[in-house]
Copies of this chain bind each other. A is one copy, B any other.
């Protein structure tokens, strides 16, 4: 089965202790699509400006990504500039230029409407609601951020009531629920709608709550993290890609999907932007999945 994703496609300028990547291919929906396309067909819904390099479009088109829903319109592409600290888990946003993304009104193609699996990337919850109304998906997962939690809570709660799965940073569980304890916080989120909640903990891995069951996935220990940008988005891509490929949301599949998400995220961190991810093979994915088995088996 295929998966549809709605979100940003951007040009990122990133500085990390390993160096600088200027105007690199970025954006949550791009990272998601690249990771998910290793598992299944992806329908990308997004927008870029007329300044968007053709090579970036060619790269995405060379993968199992349907770009019929990627509009290219007059204006500037979304640009994000960030700098990571020596502690690579911390970063500052130096500049955000929304450009054509500011007035983005997602329009789903027929293929995206009919995708059985849908990922609502981190955009205004009123747009996420609008996409939900266009879509016929059986299983919907969502990302959000503290901006929407704090500024547009009412809309966000409407979306949460309609979705199946929330993929969220662990500190956002506190923003959303006021609970510092993750177990209690997730319980509150489940009461808002999604029975499946996956709090991401960066270098500490990820938890998966499915109703009353809890699974804990490690992060892949890395001697060097070149650029963590997009790690969370590729986690979601690997997670949803595996679910769509298996066409199942049983507990075992969901747990394996978390590991596939973690595999994608770990490769993403090995180089700037999508550089490493774009050359990842099925064999690479299998090898790292096996490494996760070794890492956590006792």
Contact = CB atoms under 8 A, between A and B. Distances in A.
Given A221-B183, A223-B181, A223-B184, A252 B207 contact: no
Contact of A298 (B187, B204, B219, B256): B256
A215 B252 contact: no
A180 interface: yes
A283 interface: no
User: Which of A225, A252, A256, A296 gathers the greatest number of chain B CB atoms within 10 Å?
Assistant: A296
User: Dominant SS at the A interface?
Assistant: mixed
B295 A214 contact: yes
Chain A interface category by residue count: 35 or more
A49 interface: no
A274 to B, nearest CB: 22
Contacts of A255: 297-298
Interface of A: 86-88, 180-184, 187, 201, 203-205, 207, 214-219, 221-225, 252, 255-256, 258-259, 293, 295-298
Q: What 5 A-B pairs come out closest when comparing CB atoms?
A: A216-B218, A204-B204, A255-B298, A183-B223, A183-B221
Given A184-B224, A215-B298, A217-B298, 11 more contacts: A88-B180, A183-B221, A183-B222, A207-B221, A214-B295, A216-B218, A216-B295, A216-B296, A259-B298, A296-B296, A296-B298
